[in-house]
Structure 1
Amino acid sequence: MAMETLNVNADAQPLDFHHPFTPYDVQIEFMRAVYGVLEEGNGQVGILESPTGTGKSLSLICSALTWLRTHKRSAYESGLQETAKNMAGEPDWMIDIALRRKREELTRKWEEREARLERIRAREKMMEEKGRGSKRQRVDEGRARKKEVDEEREFWIGEMDGDDDVPSDDPLSMLSKETRELMSRVGMGRAQAEEEEDEGEQEDEIKIYYTSRTHSQLTQFISELRRPVFPPSVPADTISGSKEGGKPPAETVKQVPLSSRQKLCINPSVARLGSLSAINDRCTELQQSKSKGRCAFMPNAENLKETHKFRDAVFATLPDIEDMHQIGKGLQVCPYYASRTAIPGAEVITLPYPLLLQKSAREALGIKLEGNVVIIDEAHNIMDAVANVYAAEVRLSELRRARQMLGVYVKRFGKKLKGENRVMVAQLGKVVESLTDWLAGSLQTKADQGIADANALLKHRGADQINLYELIKYIHDSKLAYKVEGYAAHIEEQDSAPTESKAKASTPVLHTLVSFLTALTNLSTEGRIFFEKLPRPSSDIKLSYLLLSPTHAFSSIAQSARAVVLAGGTMSPFDDYKGHLFPTLPPAKITTLSCGHVIPPSNLCVWTLGSSRPSNNPALAPDAFEFSFQKRSDRAMVQQLGLAVVNICSVVPDGVVVFFPSYGYLDQVVTMWQAAEPAAPKSIWERLAARKVVFRETKGGSSDEVLQEYTQAIMSPEKQGPAKSTQTGALLLSVVGGKMSEGINFSDRLGRCVVIVGLPYPNINSPEWKARIEYIESSTASRLLGAEPGLNADAEPSMTSKEQAQATAKQEARDFYENACMRAVNQSIGRAIRHRNDYAAIVLVDRRFGTERIQTKLPGWIRGGMVEGSETKGMQGLMGALNGFFRSKRGL
């Protein structure tokens, strides 16, 4: 993959990225690429690949923070120059005095802030050393105890409060006027406090928004963020002490981790609800002006001092989410809301994918991307992540449960419901009935899955006459889902026997339904609705919404941010990110980079096994390995595969991991291997077990347990019991795209060889993939025809134009399909090499891996380690290569 020209002057003085270790060449290349994208700005995009084990996270931190601090110092000087420019014509001595005063004022603020944070750090350290922690007031546990419930006050939908002066797009509009005023006084929401009761007033500075897929990955990032030391964000020569030759103090990075209420709520009566949707509704319910027992932890005028202490503690300590929870609990102030007071002065804000990818979530948290930097780590998941954020599903069993809960609720409160409340509850009932009727009818048909017509779903019971936008808004504003489900849970708890354990909160089926109804309001061209019967004996059926294209959902991020960096260990192939996330962005605005690995070339052996015997053309060889859907069940080929794995296990020490295309095919292969062979004394399975302890990943099984046993068999074989003397190490049979193929570390002895069996293409005949392919073809053709030079928009396009556009669109759809396969392969391959001194062999078992089309979609470091012509040398050639490779490593 060709790399776009980097916008960093190669002749300029080398940048000091303040890396805590001596960086490798590939790390310097990666950091220069990130720095160049951020410096260029103006909507620049970087798609950067750095293999796992090359210190990608630390390289991202060092390059991004070096740029940010340099940018801040430049802005500092630019501000002084602007002051001088505005005083043009004044005497030089007046300009000098004005500049000196401004410089002293800016530096004084910086020094006072850093001194305050240093005092907090010193206090925290002292308490840790004394081992007694801070004397924190504890939450009154009595609030969480069961108490008599005023049903009408708690669950009845009374007259809704309304504020005509609140903009409808205000994410805090669900709160009462009083609450919004209190939040405004602590610097939260749209209105900012004109003055703070604190001398550390924060300015809204340029920020880096860093997001990753999982909570543990964000925690690891924050841990890495604590390693480097960066120069201050003001010129060093202005800081006290530096003028006398002293070393200027380092400036700790101001980092704020954002998360959901589910992880940050410290109110026991809310946190115990469990589900995110119930917690969200109950939290906002407790902010309403008529709410009984309003949340005591909400930032307000009375706890303004604690809120500012929370902000300063966050800036002083580089906390993760657990730390935020503890800081808030110690100060008795809500970490979810109080964290927003730290956003204006933050340099780095960490958050999980959903909080960045959803516009409504960004607005609710006060996140502004304009002029700021967005870094998306583990970005090979980003298109799936966008689809998952907007995905929704609902089951027939859930709809029946919703209908039951609505019936119970209406029976209790129906006579008290007035006006709009009565109408809207009835409308929700009609929608539930219509969806129930459609799914119940589909359950009786022969088709197990297919595409559902959105209009047909609501044609029963007059539901097609209902305005879904108004109904969804009403449910959100009135907290109807929370009230109905809360009342149902309350009744269940009352009806439970005294000896029973505490009743579990009811499944939030109405929240699930609302998410699905919201998906129905999306543009019909961008998504599809599917139905699927669930496996027996459930006798259930579900509706699922699938977002077909991430372009529109991601466009608000790409268009707002100063720069966007997509970084990952296995980003290849790059074309999908360009075509589906940034389809209208000029090539000059996209920088791509595929870094090499930090390991020496001698530590990697990549072999393509095209056939069991040598053949100049494996495609025509009768014993060729081709695990296509049509040929993968061939018994002779499966037996040859088994013999290949047996031979690999006889040469490779310690751990061997074999990835199959699917769980179903893994089961099929194992069954064939376990069957006795007429001409052989032992089955393939028995031969494998004689070489290594064999483990197998199962769908729905515990991957942690299998991984633990596999590790133990390699690292402590004596604990496995009386093993045969011929057994050395372990063999793990896994699945591409399964739990073992991503996020699992097979470093060193755990993964001396990774075998990929076939190309794991998705099922192109599934309704979901049919819809994806159809969407890509139609949208690509429309885009090409509309953008063709010289084509009159009102004129009928020529047949040549149509044919060319359609041919190009079909090819793009095929590439997207193949790229999805190769991304999964690349993820599995990346499980083995994890650090500079690691070494491993990669065996690609399928003749198609030897084709140029497939090889160009492998990461550059894998292509660099390929043995040229290996696809023609058969099993004998592979054994020779593996023998030589591992013989050379025995002395390590």
Structure 2
Amino acid sequence: LFSAMETGPEEFNFPFKPYGIQVQFVKSLYDAIDSQKLAVFESPTGTGKSLSIICGSLTWLKSHENKLEEEFKHDQKRLEELKQNLNSADDWFTVQTSSYEELEKLQKRRVLFDLFKQKQKVFKAYKDTSAKALEHFKNTPKDEEEGTSEDLCLLDEYHSDEESVPEENKPEEELDSVLVKIIYSSRTHSQMSQFIHEMKKTVFNNNVRLVSLASRQFTCINEHVKKLKNNTLMNERCTELQKASTKCLMDNEESTTKRQKTKVPRGCPFFNIPRIRGLQNYILGNLGDVEDITKVGVKIGACPYYAMRFAIQDAEVIVVPYNTLLHKGTREACGISLKNSVVIIDEAHNLLDSISSIHSSHTFSQQLAHSYSQMEQFTLKYGSFL
């Protein structure tokens, strides 16, 4: 339903002249996001709904980021004014006391602004650095890379789809809470891929950091794990391989005083921090769906599953399936926070059925009969010991 109040910019970065219904859609969407409203939209088939969602939401996101930067600059200007007043005031104590709270707040904002500028430089460099890193990894054998088991332990907190991510109070996290993310969720992976394909047609193709998430069933490139097919079994096997990824042995046979470490690979060959970080940078610098990222992961020998998770923190747009968004344990394990985020659910008429399916389990009569038979056999054999 389109809002009667249509606000926002006149241009929404459509790759072509939009239809009237698309203009109505994006203006209402922009207004809903800007006003932090809960909105339900319906658009007939064939009216370019996905493109309208992209242009409306991302135009708002870029506008919001520009406003945030202007606010930071205004705060810094105000901070300098306060400092000048303190230095020139006759009654320094009175001025200091009256301005203390504002001064403290502005100084904290200055730290955030410095971090914001630093991150912006890093974000702009993702595309160039990722291209160089991928070329390096393609031409460098894994046994020539340096690394330690301590580095690999950094991934332990991400080892399960159901594991929670610990919260820490850091300036980076405070800045992350200010930077808004757009979370787009759809029912199937093909719909997610179609959404990303539509985004590639727009101006946002080269200036939006997007990550698409999927389970190990869709992202694992280790054939020994993939053949298990069941997601729970794959999670368990992946965790086992992580724990056995490297083994550092002290080489006592060397006669020199310098002790050397020998790295003996025993686990997953794709569980490699430098390569995973390289793939993470590629994800943030290049628009691609799960299939695209997985192919790159195969080329450089890096785990796409963990690279995608690592990319979440710096991503502006997160594309996820229903089960990741709607299941609290999975969502928190991925490090996705709904706080200060714009959540867009596509095909929302499927939402209730999806929620019911995610939080339900099916048991068949044949399974019950088999379980009952096993209990009977156990009682007959061990009943006297109970």
**Same fold (TM > 0.5):** yes
| Residue among 183, 190, 197 paired with 2:166 | 190
Number of residues of Structure 1 aligned to a counterpart in Structure 2: 328
- Counterpart CA distance in 2 for 1:291 and 1:400 is 45
d(CA) in 2 for partners of 1:360, 1:102: 30
| Letter in structure 1 aligned against 2:25 | F
**Bigger share in helix:** 2
User: Are the aligned partners of 2:184 and 2:319 in contact in 1 as well (CA < 8 Å)?
Assistant: yes
| 1:326, distance to aligned residue in structure 2 (A) | 2.0
CA contact under 8 A between 1:179 and 1:289: conserved in structure 2?
no
| Displacement of 1:388 | 1.7
Structure-2 change in CA distance of 1:14 and 1:351 (3 Å): closer
Q: Structure 2: how far apart are the matches of 1:100 and 1:251?
A: 29
1:17 aligns with 2:12: yes
The structure 1 residue matched to 2:300, chosen from 331, 352, 377, is 331
> Is 1:214 the counterpart of 2:188 in the alignment?
yes
Alignment of 1:266 with 2:229, yes or no, is no
Contact 1:264–1:325 (8 Å) recurs in 2 = yes
Task: Give how far 1:70 is off.
Answer: 0.6
What is the aligned counterpart of 1:295 among 261, 264, 268?
268
Matches within 5 A, 1:98-113: 107=117, 109-113=119-123
Question: SS of the residue aligned with 2:40?
Answer: strand
CA contact (8 A) 1:7 1:37 kept: no
Instruction: Give the aligned partner of residue 366 of structure 1.
Output: 335
Deviations 1:307-339 (A, max 9, x none): 321111001221111122122223333221221
Structure 1 residue 120: deviation in Å? 4.1
Q: How does 1:529-548 map to 2 (within 5 A)?
A: none
Whether 1:340 and 2:309 are equivalent positions in the alignment is yes
Give TM-score scaled by structure 1 length.
Answer: 0.33
Match of 1:390 among 344, 347, 359: 359
**Do the aligned partners of residues 77 and 6 (structure 1) sit closer, same or farther apart at CA in structure 2, a change above 3 Å counting?**
farther
Q: Is the 8 A contact 2:137 2:300 kept in 1?
A: no
**Is 1:54 aligned to 2:64, yes or no?**
no
Mapping of residues 33-432 of structure 1, within 5 Å: 33-41=28-36, 44-91=37-84, 107=117, 109-118=119-128, 120=130, 135=138, 181-183=153-155, 189-190=165-166, 203=176, 205-230=179-204, 251-288=206-243, 293-298=266-271, 303=273, 305-399=274-368
- Alignment partners' CA distance in 1, 2:325 and 2:348: 13
1:399–1:325 CA distance, 2 compared to 1 (3 A): farther
Distance 1:270 1:139, change over 3 A: farther
Change beyond 3 A, Cα 1:121–1:64? farther
CA distance in 1, matches of 2:48, 2:34: 22
Name 2:26's counterpart in structure 1: 31
| Gap change, CA 1:281 and 1:112, over 3 Å in 2 | closer
Deviations 1:775-807 (A, max 9, x none): xxxxxxxxxxxxxxxxxxxxxxxxxxxxxxxxx
Give the aligned partner of residue 165 of structure 1: none
Contact 1:256 1:342 in 2 (8 A): yes
| Maintained 8 Å contact 1:211/1:353 | yes
**8 Å CA contact retained: 2:72, 2:110:** no
1:370 deviates by: 0.8
Residue 50 of structure 1, CA deviation: 0.6
How far does residue 75 in structure 1 lie from its aligned partner after superposition? 1.0
Say whether the 8 Å CA contact 1:6–1:36 is kept in structure 2. no
Which residue is equivalent to 2:93?
none
SS of structure 1 residue aligned to 2:166: coil
1:377 partner amino acid = D
Structure 1: gaps spanning 5 or more residues: 128-132, 141-177, 197-201, 231-249, 405-428, 435-460, 462-892
Q: Which has the higher contact order (CA 8 A, sep 6+)?
A: 2
Deviation at 1:81, TM superposition (A): 2.3
Query: Retained in 2: the 8 A contact 1:185–1:193?
Result: no
Corresponding residue SS for 2:38: strand
Question: TM-score of the superposition, structure 2-length normalised?
Answer: 0.71
| Cα offset, 1:256, TM superposition | 0.3
Secondary structure class of the residue paired with 2:76: helix
Distance in 1 between the 2:133 and 2:329 partners? 38
Shift of residue 371, structure 1, vs aligned partner: 1.0
Q: What secondary structure does 2:203 align onto?
A: coil
Report if aligned partners of 2:112, 2:171 keep a CA contact under 8 Å in 1. Answer: no
Cα deviations across residues 161-218 of structure 1 (Å, max 9, x unaligned)?
xxxxxxxxxxxxxxxxx899522799x942679899xxxxx95632111111111111
Deviations 1:794-840 (A, max 9, x none): xxxxxxxxxxxxxxxxxxxxxxxxxxxxxxxxxxxxxxxxxxxxxxx
- 8 Å CA contact 1:285–1:291 kept in 2: the answer is no
SS at match of 2:337: coil
Indicate how the Cα distance of structure 1 residues 432 and 320 shifts in structure 2: closer, same or farther if over 3 A, else same: farther
Structure 2 distance, partners of 1:291, 1:399, is: 43
What is the aligned-residue identity percentage? 34
- 1:5 is displaced (CA, Å) by 4.5
Q: Which amino acid aligns with 2:345?
A: I
Q: Which amino acid aligns with 1:46?
A: A
CA distance in 2, matches of 1:361, 1:433: 36
Query: Pairwise mapping of residues 824-863 of structure 1 onto structure 2 (< 5 A)?
Result: none
Deviation at 1:295, TM superposition (A): 3.1
Question: Shift of the alpha carbon at 1:77?
Answer: 1.3
Q: 2 CA distance for matches of 1:270 and 1:223?
A: 29
Q: Deviations over 1:487-535 (max 9, x none)?
A: xxxxxxxxxxxxxxxxxxxxxxxxxxxxxxxxxxxxxxxxxxxxxxxxx
1:280-326 CA-to-partner distances (Å, cap 9, x unmatched) read 22223334579994334335xxx3x3232111100122111112212
- 2:271 partner SS: coil
AA in 2 matched with 1:297: F
Partner AA of 2:292 in structure 1 = D
Amino acid corresponding to residue 67 of structure 2 in structure 1: S
Residue segments in structure 2 that go unaligned for 5+ positions in a row: 88-102, 144-149, 159-163, 248-265
Deviation at 1:401, TM superposition (A): 5.7
User: In structure 2, what is the Cα distance between the partners aligned to 1:256 and 1:324?
Assistant: 9
User: Counterparts of 1:395 and 1:276 in 2: how far apart (Å)?
Assistant: 20
- Per-residue CA deviations over 1:661-720 (Å, capped at 9, x if unaligned) read xxxxxxxxxxxxxxxxxxxxxxxxxxxxxxxxxxxxxxxxxxxxxxxxxxxxxxxxxxxx
The one-letter amino acid of 1:228's match is T
Deviations 1:53-99 (A, max 9, x none): 0000000000000000111111111122233344443228x99xx99
Q: Distance in 1 between matches of 2:23 and 2:300?
A: 42
State the secondary structure of the residue aligned to 1:373. Answer: strand
**Cα distance change on mapping 1:383 and 1:103 into 2, 3 Å:** closer
Q: CA deviation at 1:26?
A: 0.3
